Structure formats: structure tokens, C-alpha cells
């Protein structure tokens, strides 16, 4: 697998750990970690990181649930999906497409068989010619969880242009490091263990705004409802992190028309 693809085992491990503790229910992650042929000693197994990965996933889960309620005729597309089980965790009946590199999709097929509603796409996010295989829905939710940092600003703009051209309206949601956090990550970041590199970072949503692109969400990842699930030193740590580090890593949403 490419170095960027190997990062999929970081959130997988974190969600499995938090699921075992009842903080973030993800039975599929637990099952995969117990059965997949991978040495998890190669990934950062810090408790803080595991909680953070679960928080990030919970944030996206909630967005998908809200989107499905508002747009019953829409479609969900996930880029760089790895082995995430959102399609199982979220109660939604929308058409759903999960995309990743062919070697990742080959592994994913073991755990996530395709159905009439659920589809796998074995392709890199760019070039976006894979969109030709998806109907031109009037509304789409595109999620890029843990992906933007491995792309470039040009790549991000290229994806957004492709979505505008293909769908009537798109909500494009992704998480991104700030430029300062990207610099600091050279010394401390779990992706360093698999030699992945950060290319894209931003802290000003207007960077990607323009004709047909409007930022509609700029959100902390650490939310009060998730902190409330924690106890003791975990709760104290994340209350502090939420106050001190909220500008380092955020989730952004854009409306593309």
C-alpha cells in the first residue's frame, strides 16, 4: 500500500479501542482489528489519539445523519474511506459510494460487500473521472475524512470543480490542519510512523471560496457532547485541548453550486 493508505489503520485502531470501552460504538472496527493481517504495533496507539479519532468520526456521523434527514433524494460519497464503518454506523437509506485506492478497496471488500445501495470505487480521488459512474444527483454529500492533508490546494480546487460540474449542488466536508499545525507535525504526528507527508493546510476558509463555492461550516472537532462521554483525566485533557488547540485542526464544509 501507499504510505498515505497505511494511515487508515490509525483511526481504525482508535475507533476499535473506544468501541471496546463503550465511548464510541463501532463493532465493525473491533471485528476488523481482531481479524485483519496487520501489525498494529506500527501505528501510534496513544489513548489521546484514539479518543480524537473517535471524536472526529462521531462528528462526521452526525453530519451524515442530518444530511440524510434533509435530503432523502441525495447521495453520500466518501473519499479515502479506508476501512471506516460509517455506512454501518449511520442509519440512512441513501445511495452510498465509498472510494479509495484499488489496494484498499480490495481489502475493504472482505468486510463490506456491495449491495444495490452500497457501492465501492477503486480509484484515486484525482483525476475525478470516477464520477462518470455515479448518476447526476441533484444533491450530494461528499466527505473527505482524513484526506485533505495528502492533497494539494490545486487538488482540492480540482475536486470541487468536478463536483460542481457533476451534481446540482454538493456539500463538500473535510478536515484540515492549520499551517502552524502542519509545521509542528514534522516533529510529532502519528502519520510519521508510516512516512506519510502533509501537503495541504489552511486556516482561512476563504482560501477555497469563490464562484460557486461558499464555506458553510467551520467547526471544532472536540465537541461538548463527546467530552461528556469521557471521565477523569480523559475529560480534563480534552476540555483543555478543546480550548487550546481548536485552531490547529478543524472541519470545514462548503456548498458547491
CA distance 179 to 165: 29
122's torsion region: left (phi>0), alpha (psi -120 to 50) or beta? Answer: beta
pLDDT, mean of residues 25-43 = 93
- The per-residue DSSP string of 47-93 comes to HHHHHHHHHHHHHHHHHHHHHHHH-TT-EEEEES-TT--HHHHS---
Residue-wise pLDDT tens digits, 139-157: 999 999 999 999 999 999 9
| pLDDT score, position 191 | 47
192 confidence band (pLDDT: 50, 70, 90): very low
198 or 34, which is more confident? 34
The angle that helices 232-244 and 47-70 make with each other, rounded to 10 degrees, is 70
pLDDT above 90: percentage of residues in the chain: 75
1 confidence band (pLDDT: 50, 70, 90): low
240 or 10, which is more confident? 10
| pLDDT score, position 2 | 54
Residue-wise pLDDT tens digits, 56-83: 999 999 999 999 999 999 999 999 999 9
- Mean confidence (pLDDT) of the chain: 91
pLDDT, mean of residues 218-234 = 91
| pLDDT score, position 35 | 96
Handedness of CA 81, 11, 28, 145 (dihedral sign): negative
Map 123-137 to HEC letters: CCCCCHHHHHHCCCC
Q: Is the pLDDT of residue 41 over 80?
A: yes
Q: Which domains does the chain have, with CATH numbers?
A: 3-256 (3.40.50.150)
CA neighbours closer than 13 Å in the CB half-sphere of residue 61: 19
pLDDT, mean of residues 224-249 = 84
pLDDT above 70: percentage of residues in the chain: 91
CA distance 34 to 135: 36
pLDDT, mean of residues 159-185 = 93
CA distance 232 to 211: 47
pLDDT, mean of residues 218-244 = 87
What does the radius of gyration of the chain's CA atoms come to, in whole angstroms? 17
Residue-wise pLDDT tens digits, 4-25: 567 899 999 999 999 999 999 9
| pLDDT score, position 244 | 60
| pLDDT score, position 163 | 98
Torsion of CA 217, 24, 30, 61, to 10 degrees: -30
Q: What is the pTM of this model?
A: 0.93
Amino acid at each position: 500500500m501507499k504510505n498515505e493508505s497505511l494511515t487508515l489503520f490509525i483511526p481504525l485502531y482508535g475507533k476499535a479501542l473506544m468501541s471496546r470501552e463503550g465511548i464510541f460504538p463501532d463493532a465493525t472496527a473491533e471485528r476488523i482489528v481482531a481479524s485483519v493481517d496487520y501489525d498494529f504495533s506500527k501505528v501510534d496507539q496513544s489513548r489521546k489519539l484514539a479518543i480524537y479519532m473517535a471524536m472526529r468520526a462521531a462528528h462526521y456521523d452526525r453530519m451524515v445523519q442530518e444530511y440524510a434527514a434533509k435530503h432523502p433524494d441525495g447521495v453520500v460519497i466518501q473519499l479515502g474511506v479506508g476501512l471506516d464503518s460509517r455506512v454501518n454506523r449511520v442509519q440512512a437509506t441513501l445511495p452510498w459510494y465509498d472510494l479509495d485506492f484499488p489496494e484498499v478497496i480490495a481489502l475493504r471488500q472482505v468486510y463490506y460487500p456491495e449491495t444495490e445501495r452500497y457501492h465501492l470505487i477503486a480509484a484515486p480521488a484525482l483525476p475525478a473521472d470516477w464520477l462518470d459512474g455515479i448518476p447526476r444527483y441533484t444533491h450530494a454529500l461528499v466527505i473527505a475524512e482524513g484526506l485533505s492533508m495528502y492533497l494539494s490546494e490545486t487538488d482540492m480546487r480540482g475536486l470541487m470543480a468536478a463536483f460542481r460540474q457533476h451534481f446540482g449542488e454538493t456539500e463538500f466536508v473535510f478536515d484540515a490542519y492549520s499551517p502552524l499545525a502542519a509545521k509542528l507535525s514534522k516533529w510529532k504526528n502519528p502519520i510519521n510512523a508510516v512516512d506519510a507527508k502533509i501537503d495541504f493546510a489552511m486556516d482561512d476558509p476563504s482560501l477555497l471560496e469563490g464562484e460557486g463555492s461558499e464555506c458553510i461550516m467551520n467547526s471544532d472537532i472536540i465537541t461538548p457532547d463527546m467530552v461528556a462521554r469521557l471521565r477523569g483525566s480523559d475529560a480534563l485533557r480534552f476540555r483543555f485541548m478543546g480550548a487550546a488547540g481548536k485552531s490547529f485542526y478543524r472541519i470545514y464544509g462548503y456548498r458547491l453550486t
